[in-house]
Homo-oligomer: A and B are copies of this chain.
Amino acid sequence: MPEFLELLPPPQARQILLQHIKHKPQGEFLATHTALGRITAAPIHAPHPLPSFPRSTVDGFAVRARDTFGCSDTLPAYLNLIGEVPMGSEARLELHTGQCALIHTGGMLPPGSDAVVMLEHTQQAADVEIEVLRAVAVGENVLRAGEDVQQGQEIIPVGVPLRPEEIGGLMALGILEVHVVRRPRVGIISSGDEVVPPEATIQPGQVRDINSYSLSALVEQAGGVAQRYGIIPDRLEAIQETASRALSECDMVVITAGSSASTRDLTSEAINRLGTPGVLVHGVNVRPGRPTILAVCQGKAVIGLPGNPVSALVIARLFVVPALHCLLGMQTNRPAPFVPARLSINLPSQAGREDWIPVKLSKVAGQYVAEPIFSKSNLIFSLARADGLIAISADATGLSAGEMVEVYLL
């Protein structure tokens, strides 16, 4: 089958696409508390140390550690209680030898103290006298100033998504505004003479537009902004005109071709007219989605997806989402999570071709079992019924029943 050998499998095809993307969206400044999930456009540094003062990590007594050395249950150290450290302000007292002060978790260590004895390791001997039953070392139960981050330290690198953890950390440092990458705008074009808008009453021979909406949702999920350009008839000029407008208004363009081979060639030709280098990959060794078109025109990614809505969604996860991550400048060292499961049946596959198969998960004896969902292509609910996808890599000739597989949740 020489035609299969000529087509690249998805990883190599993806690399070619990403290498050619030159256009990158600008950054923008956002209020930190509204920036969940956004990607940093520049590294962020600490304006001051954190904590900004030495803090107690327990409820207890601030002491000079040397005053407790050698003490024990049977030989307590007796310290003079000189006051209480108020929460939220500086202690108005200073510790001298033989003295201690009541302190709460998070309180600021008073001058002269260098450790905290936990409440549990003390006894009140008299009104102003405390028995210390266990020795503490210098710095024990204390957060040093700058122990979390030091002034000027890089706290968040460029190209990472802001999670609740980062948002909290930024607030701790009083960083109320962050420089993030603008959400890339993705133009989405459906084509096909048989395709009508979802609000239409369908006539015999017509189908409603699925791709514009499923792909918009995927784009939003992946951090982009979807802009729909509607359904274009299967004519070269019409496709080219709309694609050209989308390319000028967006950071990336996705075109779902009509279903037949001739309309796919139309898409390819329309894309080639948008600018150089044009179509880089026409056909990928993958199932579903072999007639995929990967192009870069005027520095921007232009991706031609199969019209079949199942192929379109699978292929969009393989190429549109990584292209979006590239535009977002995402550092991709964080792995994709999955659910390990036991495959329920044998799955043959052609060597050289990467296969993606929707599966349903069920729990049997505490372990997940992945049951492939077989259906003719083009049945959108075969995907809606699936929990995830499994891949058979190009160098395998299949998977065996009982084998462990990685299920990527949809």
Contact = CB atoms under 8 A, between A and B. Distances in A.
A363 B307 CA distance: 38
Given A176-B198, A337-B339, A205 B107 contact: yes
A56 to B, nearest CB: 9
B218 A382 contact: no
Nearest to A334: B387
B335 A368 contact: yes
Nearest to A53: B204
A148 interface: yes
B210 A169 contact: yes
A5 interface: no
9 nearest CB pairs, A to B: A168-B214, A337-B337, A106-B259, A104-B260, A88-B194, A164-B217, A105-B259, A90-B204, A148-B379
A127 interface: no
A343 interface: no
A106 B307 contact: yes
Interface in A329-348: 333-335, 337-340
Interface residues of A, number: 104
Contacts of A333: 363
A303 interface: no
A74 interface: no
For A107, A213, A410, the residue with the greatest tally of chain B CB atoms inside 10 Å of its CB is A213
Interface string A156-177: 1000000111111101111010
B163 A217 contact: yes
B57 A87 contact: no
Given A86-B205, A87-B259, A168-B383, 8 more contacts: A53-B205, A88-B205, A147-B376, A148-B380, A167-B217, A168-B384, A171-B209, A172-B208
B218 A174 contact: no
A51 interface: yes
Nearest to A105: B259
Interface string A391-410: 00000000000000000111
Contact of A165 (B148, B214, B361, B378): B214
A377 interface: yes
Nearest to A338: B337
Contact of A171 (B163, B192, B213): B213
A32 interface: yes
Interface string A163-204: 111111101111010000000000000001111101111111
Nearest to A377: B57
30 contacts: A36-B220, A50-B380, A86-B193, A87-B192, A88-B192, A88-B193, A88-B196, A89-B206, A90-B205, A104-B263, A105-B261, A106-B259, A106-B378, A107-B194, A108-B204, A147-B376, A156-B384, A164-B217, A164-B313, A165-B380, A167-B214, A168-B210, A169-B384, A171-B198, A171-B213, A172-B208, A174-B208, A334-B387, A335-B409, A337-B339
A313 B384 CA distance: 33
A384 B165 contact: yes
A309 interface: yes
B381 A148 contact: yes
A33 interface: yes
Given A106-B259, A194-B88, A208 B171 contact: yes
A202 to B, nearest CB: 6
A350 interface: no
A33 to B, nearest CB: 5
Nearest to A35: B217
A12 interface: no
